[in-house]
Amino acid sequence: MGHYIELSLFDLALATLLIVIASMVSLVLHLGITSTLILAAARCGLQLGAIGLVLRQIFGMKNPVLVVSWLLLMLFFAAREATRRSKKRYQGILLDSLLTMTASSLIAGGLVTQVVIRSDPWYDPQYTIPIFGMIFGNSLNGISLGLERLMDYVRGRAQEIELLLAFGATREEALREGAKMAVRTGMIPIINNMTVAGIVSLPGMMTGQIIAGASPIQAVSYQIVIMFMIAASNAIGTMTISRLAGRRLVTNLGIQWI
């Protein structure tokens, strides 16, 4: 369709004026977050700049080993971030997060890249890295919310769970309501995003494609696929983490974590 406008280093330098404006607001209102804001902006620029250089090499080489290695690295850091966001911990939480994200990303991401988009070759970094990256970023949010909700349920309903177990209920039966709450909580963000997409807000991928010169219809099509994919990955992720965490938090003999 159209062409996109390339940004120079000077253009990026001009964009820092926006951070200056935000910093001035912080100073005027005495918010006490000026240094934090500046540090966050600096980290954002450095991290994204470094990622851009790395991805340029990966995209140029199109080596399946490099692509898969990069995806595994993203997977590990996403799982670690999901556990760090949780205020409560239990032994094995990182492993559960890794297994959960692996399952949700392989199912949802694999379906999109291999069945819907049909990327050729299957590991084409132009598609696999952005798509799996969006899954990881959104899944870690849903998983951390769902996990937090489940642990709150176990702690708040400890006596009720113990009573159910004492009367012969299985672990799954005792945690059924808590698991449902966890999945529901983890699904809320993507449901809200889908509800307002296109009316209140233009999603990031759609906006980026339009700026890059893609047809608005194609940009919308990709965005619909991505949002449906995120909904599926969040549903799979929150359901999986509820089952895995439930096995560690509660056994048929009683609660193992409070």
pLDDT at 251: 77
Q: What is the mean pLDDT of residues 215-230?
A: 92
Report the length, in residues, of the chain: 258
Give yes or no for a contact between 147 and 182, defined as CB atoms under 8 angstroms apart. yes
- The single residue listed with the structure tokens 């140029």 is 60
Residue % of the chain over a pLDDT of 90: 67
Quick check: 129 pLDDT over 90?
Answer: yes
pLDDT at 85: 83
Confidence of residue 199 (pLDDT cuts 50, 70, 90): confident
Q: What is the mean pLDDT of residues 54-66?
A: 92
HSE toward the beta carbon, residue 99, CA cutoff 13 A: 12
Return d(Cα 166, Cα 254) in angstroms, integer: 8
Q: CB count, 10 Å around CB of 240? A: 22
pLDDT at 257: 61
pLDDT at 1: 56
**Cα-trace Rg, the chain:** 22
Quick check: 3 pLDDT over 90?
Answer: no
The per-residue pLDDT for range 159-197, each reduced to its tens digit, is: 898 888 888 888 888 899 999 999 999 999 999 989 988
Average pLDDT, the chain: 90
Quick check: 252 pLDDT over 90?
Answer: no
Residue 251 gets which letter from DSSP? E
